[in-house]
Amino acid sequence: MEVRTILVEPKSEENIGAVARVIKNFGFSDLYLLNPPEIGKKAISVASHAYDVLSACRIVNSIEEAIENSALVAGTTSKPGISAHKHLRMPFFSPRELKRKIEGKRGILSLLVGREDRGLLNEELMRCDIVVRIPTSPEYPVMNLSHAVAVVLYELSEVETASGGQLLARVEDKERLFAHLRTFLDEIGYREHKKEKTMLMLRRILGRAELTAREVQTLRGILRKAEWKIGKGKP
């Protein structure tokens, strides 16, 4: 879904700039501001390279205008619902649960984010289809506005999350490494009765390390070099 971040009566320019930046960091672009303060140099400075998001923001005067054309309106709160008898903040969803709910859906998701001091008013929360709450410590549950937006947009982001893990070594490469290690243990005269146990330990250590193909090659290079030094291998 397209995500529209709507700040409801934000007081701080810096927060507006910081939100523009996280919107761009996570590959989104739509920023709506309901009754914002004057946007000046501070907001621009904090937005940094997200000036485009900030300058394209839409300023609106009502919740109705802000959520226009949305398929789903999610309101953020730092107060969880206390009782199932009150529907206003119950049930609430974590950002991850919200992500799961919208997966594969199309349309605009409006993310309503309230004031720095009072959050969203009850009548604003009533307009929401879903209430989202970041799981925070009861010791200090209230996050700074822009940090809360960062966490929610991080979850909702469609940015490729695949890491360097793509390059993991294939099982065949690892087996060649283990065979090489076993030969090496023989070559250095490692005690026969300890060999199997040690080989298993090496498997466990290297398995946990989730080796890349390149790392396997380099490790085998080290072994070859060592074999050559002890007069066993070819240079």
The residue whose two tokens read 């879904």 is: 1
d(CA 142, CA 173): 49
> Which residue in 102, 190, 215, 223 binds a second copy (CB under 8 A)?
215
Under the criterion CB under 8 A, does residue 210 sit at the interface with a second copy?
Answer: yes
- Rounded to a whole number of angstroms, the minimum distance from the CB of residue 193 to a second copy is 31
Q: Is 142 one of the binding residues for a second copy (CB under 8 A)?
A: yes
Q: Angle of helix 145-156 relative to helix 13-25, nearest 10 degrees? A: 10
Q: How far apart are the first and last CA of the chain?
A: 58
Among 31-39, 134-142, 178-186, 197-205, which window interacts with a second copy (CB under 8 A)? 134-142
Among 61, 103, 140, 193, binds a second copy (CB under 8 A): 140
CB 10 within 8 A of CB 36: yes
Q: Is 229 in the site for a second copy (CB under 8 A)?
A: no
Q: Which one, of 151, 115, 112, lies nearest residue 129 by Cα?
A: 112
Q: Measured between alpha carbons, how far is 14 from 20 in angstroms, rounded to an integer? A: 10
Residue ranges in contact with a second copy by CB under 8 A: 18, 21-22, 24-27, 46, 48-50, 80-81, 84-85, 87, 89-94, 96-97, 133-137, 139-144, 146-147, 150-151, 154, 157, 159-161, 163-165, 167-168, 210, 212-215
